[in-house]
């Protein structure tokens, strides 16, 4: 089945990044109002969903019960959560082509929980979609419900729940009860722009005020803590607390690249030169961040059974989502010394310049355990593809200046492909990488033959540099800090985390 494509809208960091890189959905629980939500609430929201037949408007009705107030350290637990999705009949062409008579499945939900400058993304998985008949002419109505994860705050202040994206993981059956071929379909939806995504506000008074709740459970690190759902399963990780600040100059400059989700970050690392048995330190320079990311330019959804969503011996792949972003990397000129041919010290300055926007593809998976269907895994792999030109200048051989001309460079651009991974949608150890959390990416590069290298008297030095430098097998490892995004025109998590010690 062909992938489903659509535009990724909304906000980066916190709720949006975790939703865009992860697989999820937003809904939360209650109505928006000037005061806190009380008891059972319902809210109508407008989404656009990427069906195989195209992008179609979808109505989503969210209902749940939340407390009107909560205490510091007390879990805030939404209950009776339901999401009713109404899809137009025109979006169901692929259902009919597969002779689907009944559809069921699960919904993935996420909500941003914010309190002052702190925020966390709560991903709720496994909301059951009740089996529903596929209508001939009417709209398709799907109802999802289930237990969701609570959150706990460690300080007083209003807590706000905000809606984000929606993903339906559907299974289809023919009239005789047999599965269609393919049997699964995943549909990614985003909240239509222009809507106020706030769904509930819960008052959390000062800790010394009277409270009818039980003894609080502490959150010693501050901010917002995500607990497991009532059934005891573990939700995907939550984003770190965020705080706003002033971004560095040029932080959100994208060189005329249109973007609705700009981010900036620091990136540094090492590139080996295999023939010279050494490496060059890249990316250490001015205080301005050197990596600019336009997050979530496009989404591609791959259903179960597609080559991009392979099953494993331990788990079924329910769907995979590519979040495709564009990036530019401004690397300061780097100076390094090598022993050419194993004995001659050569010092040179190298300037790398990106020749096209890099494509950063974050592929997130939803796996369901074969033995225990309540267990889900959300691994992520990231591939960054870019091209750069390189120039060599200010060369010294054995301490003596050696003119190589103004255009000494590889005859072709360097193709750079880096890879990163994470066991979940957020990094858990120093070797893991996601775009919103940063971390290391590595890969191999080939340095093409040189051209344009000319001595003072015009002698051709191309073969000299080709013999010293060019060839395959050059290992590259770059380490990115956590980015600083612009959300709704306002900087968040600024200034970005600077990479001081890139990994080797």
Model confidence, pTM: 0.58
Q: How high is the pLDDT of residue 489?
A: 66
Which H helix or E strand runs over 16?
helix 15-21
Q: How many CB atoms lie within 10 A of CB 123?
A: 29
Judged against a pLDDT cut of 90, whether residue 227 lies above it is answered with no
Look at phi and psi of residue 341 and say left if phi exceeds 0, alpha if psi is from -120 to 50, else beta: left
For range 281-298, the mean pLDDT: 80
pLDDT bracket for residue 444 (50, 70, 90): very high
481 or 253: which carries more pLDDT confidence? 481
**233 exposed, middle or buried (CB, 10 Å; 0-12, 13-18, 19+)?**
middle
pLDDT bracket for residue 269 (50, 70, 90): very high
**488 exposed, middle or buried (CB, 10 Å; 0-12, 13-18, 19+)?**
exposed
Judged against a pLDDT cut of 80, whether residue 30 lies above it is answered with no
Q: How far apart are CA 329 and CA 289, in angstroms?
A: 9
Q: Of 251, 263, 225, nearest to 438 (Cα)?
A: 263
Judged against a pLDDT cut of 50, whether residue 10 lies above it is answered with no
Instruction: Flag the least confident range among 89-98, 396-405, 456-465.
Output: 89-98
What is the greatest pairwise CA distance in the chain? 89
Q: Of 436, 461, 437, nearest to 450 (Cα)?
A: 461
Q: How far apart are CA 162 and CA 99, in angstroms?
A: 38
Q: How high is the pLDDT of residue 474?
A: 92
For range 428-439, the mean pLDDT: 86
Pair 376, 367: CB distance under 8 Å: yes
Q: How high is the pLDDT of residue 432?
A: 92
Beta-bridge mates of residue 292: 264, 328
pLDDT bracket for residue 222 (50, 70, 90): very low
What are residue 92's phi and psi, to 5 degrees?
Answer: -100, 20
Instruction: Flag the least confident range among 62-76, 82-96, 220-234, 428-442.
Output: 220-234
Structure tokens at 129: 């979609």
Q: How far apart are CA 15 and CA 224, in angstroms?
A: 13
Mean pLDDT of the chain: 77
Residue with tokens 């002052």: 116
Residue 93's SS3 state is helix
For range 42-51, the mean pLDDT: 83
Judged against a pLDDT cut of 60, whether residue 239 lies above it is answered with no
Q: How far apart are CA 317 and CA 320, in angstroms?
A: 8
217 or 135: which carries more pLDDT confidence? 135
Residue 483's SS3 state is coil
What are the residues whose beta carbons fall under 8 Å from the beta carbon of 135, sequence distance 6 or more?
89, 92
Q: How high is the pLDDT of residue 297?
A: 67
**485 exposed, middle or buried (CB, 10 Å; 0-12, 13-18, 19+)?**
buried
Judged against a pLDDT cut of 70, whether residue 129 lies above it is answered with yes
For range 271-297, the mean pLDDT: 83
What are the residues whose beta carbons fall under 8 Å from the beta carbon of 97, sequence distance 6 or more?
none
For range 362-389, the mean pLDDT: 87
Note the pLDDT tens digit of each residue in 55-111. Answer: 889 998 877 777 888 888 888 887 777 788 899 988 888 788 888 888 888 887 677
For range 360-378, the mean pLDDT: 84
Judged against a pLDDT cut of 90, whether residue 384 lies above it is answered with yes
């Amino acid at each position: 089945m062909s992938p489903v494509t659509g535009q990724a809208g909304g906000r980066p960091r916190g709720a949006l990044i975790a939703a865009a890189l992860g697989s999820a959905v937003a809904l939360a629980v209650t109505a928006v109002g000037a005061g806190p939500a009380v008891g059972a609430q319902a809210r109508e929201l407008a989404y656009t969903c990427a069906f195989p037949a195209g992008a179609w408007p979808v109505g989503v009705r969210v209902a749940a019960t939340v407390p009107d107030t909560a205490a510091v350290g007390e879990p805030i637990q939404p209950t009776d959560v339901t999401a009713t999705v109404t899809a137009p009949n025109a979006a169901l062409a692929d259902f009919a082509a597969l002779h689907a008579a009944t559809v069921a499945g699960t919904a993935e939900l996420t909500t941003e929980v914010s309190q002052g400058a702190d925020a966390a993304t709560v991903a709720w998985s496994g909301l059951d979609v009740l089996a529903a008949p596929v209508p001939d002419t009417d709209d398709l109505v799907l109802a999802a419900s289930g237990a969701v994860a609570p959150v706990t705050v460690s300080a007083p202040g209003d807590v706000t729940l905000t809606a984000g994206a929606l993903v339906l993981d559907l299974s289809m059956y023919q009239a005789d009860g047999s599965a269609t071929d393919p049997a699964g379909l995943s549909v990614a939806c985003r909240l239509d722009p222009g809507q106020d995504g706030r769904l509930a506000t819960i008052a959390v008074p000062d800790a010394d005020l009277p409270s009818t709740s039980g003894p609080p459970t502490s959150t010693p690190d501050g901010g917002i803590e995500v607990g497991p759902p009532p059934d005891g399963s573990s939700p995907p990780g939550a984003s770190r607390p965020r705080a706003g600040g002033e971004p560095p100059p040029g932080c959100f400059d994208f060189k005329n690249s249109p973007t609705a989700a700009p981010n900036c970050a620091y990136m540094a690392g090492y590139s080996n030169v295999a023939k010279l048995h050494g490496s060059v330190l890249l990316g250490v320079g001015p205080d301005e961040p050197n990596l600019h990311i336009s997050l979530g330019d496009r989404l591609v959804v791959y259903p179960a059974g597609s080559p991009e969503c392979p099953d494993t011996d331990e788990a079924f792949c329910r769907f995979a989502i590519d979040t495709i972003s564009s990036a530019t990397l401004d690397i300061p000129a780097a100076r390094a010394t090598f022993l050419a041919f194993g004995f001659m010290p050569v010092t040179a300055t190298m300037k790398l310049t990106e020749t096209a926007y890099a494509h950063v593809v974050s592929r997130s998976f939803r796996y369901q355990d074969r033995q225990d269907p309540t267990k889900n895994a959300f691994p992520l792999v990231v591939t960054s593809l870019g091209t750069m030109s390189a120039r060599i200048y200010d060369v010294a051989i054995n301490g003596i200046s050696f003119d190589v001309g103004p255009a000494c460079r590889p005859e072709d651009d360097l193709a750079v492909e880096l890879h990163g991974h994470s066991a979940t949608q957020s990094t858990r150890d120093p070797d893991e990488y996601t775009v919103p959390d940063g971390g290391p990416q590595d890969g191999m590069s080939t340095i093409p033959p040189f051209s344009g290298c000319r001595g003072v008297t015009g002698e051709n030095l191309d073969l000299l540099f080709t013999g010293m430098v060019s060839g395959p097998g050059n290992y590259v490892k770059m380490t990115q800090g956590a980015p600083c995004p612009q959300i709704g025109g306002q900087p968040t998590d600024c200034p970005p985390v600077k990479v001081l010690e890139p990994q080797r």
